[in-house]
Amino acid sequence: MINKTTALVICVMVLLSCAACRTVMQHGDNTPYPETSDIEIPEDFSFSIVWGTYGISSYDSQSGKLVKTKDATDVSKYTAYAKMSEDELQTVYRYLFCDIDITKYPDSYDPFNAPDAKTKMMSVPNQTIIISAIANGRTKTVTCNAVAFGSLQDCYSDEARAFLTAKEEIVNLITSFPEWEAFPEYEFFYE
């Protein structure tokens, strides 16, 4: 059995290791990322995202409209409404404006192919990613139209990897909603 002193020492060590983990994650200029709870999001912050094969899935935080697939016999079976909590919106804001700065990405973007690349990575089917964010009266939209499916290692730069990581984190959050999990399986699959 562990005595109280040993238990206290273990708790302090765990807390110190957690604090150290928080400072490991840093921006390129070595300033630590802010804790999500420390982020004040603008009152007008909202976002929308389109993702997946040919851009079949989408979410809009203003309306709460969530679409698993627009390629179905009855799209209404794959459409629901899910409003994000303040904490979830803060998390997405952090992904878009702290982890990356979406305003620094071009309007048309391909994370797998450098603009001056002589050969291009392609896939069939392809994917479409569109991320729009509104904050402080400004709107920024980044469109990745008909880009290849690939892994983070396939990205041509650290900025491209950061963009795809932010997109994946947002999609993971959205697809964890009970409304998403209640959708039926996809009716059609792409080869």
pLDDT at 32 over 50: no
Q: What is the dihedral of CA 34, 37, 43, 45, to 10 degrees?
A: 60
- pLDDT at residue number 35: 59
Using CA atoms, how far apart are residues 165 and 27, in angstroms rounded to an integer? Answer: 14
Residue 145 structure tokens: 């139209």
pLDDT reported for residue 146: 94
Query: pLDDT value at position 186?
Result: 84
Residue ranges covered by each domain of the chain: 42-181
Upstream peptide bond of 125 is cis (omega within 30 degrees of 0): yes
- What is the pTM assigned to this prediction? 0.80
What is the Cα–Cα distance from 104 to 179, expressed in whole angstroms?
33
Task: Considering only residues 190 and 158, tell me which one the structure prediction assigns the higher pLDDT.
Answer: 158
Token pair recorded at residue 30? 């070595």
Using CB atoms within 10 Å of the CB of residue 82, give its burial: 0 to 12 exposed, 13 to 18 middle, 19+ buried.
middle
pLDDT confidence of residue 191: 58
Q: Which two tokens stand for residue 28?
A: 């390129």
Per-residue tokens: 59: 């979410």
d(CA 98, CA 82) in angstroms, rounded, equals: 24
> What are the structure tokens assigned to 103, written together?
């305003």
- For 80-127, what is each residue's pLDDT tens digit? 999 999 999 999 999 999 999 999 999 999 999 999 999 999 999 999
- Bond prior to 32 in cis (omega within 30° of 0): no
pLDDT in the model for residue 190: 63
User: What was the pLDDT predicted at 94?
Assistant: 97
Tell me how far the alpha carbon of residue 44 is from its chain's centroid. Answer: 19
Output the pLDDT for position 71.
Answer: 84
Please name the CATH architecture into which domain 42-181 falls.
2-Layer Sandwich (3.30)
Residue 6 confidence (pLDDT) above 90: no
Q: Are 120 and 146 in contact (CB under 8 A)?
A: no
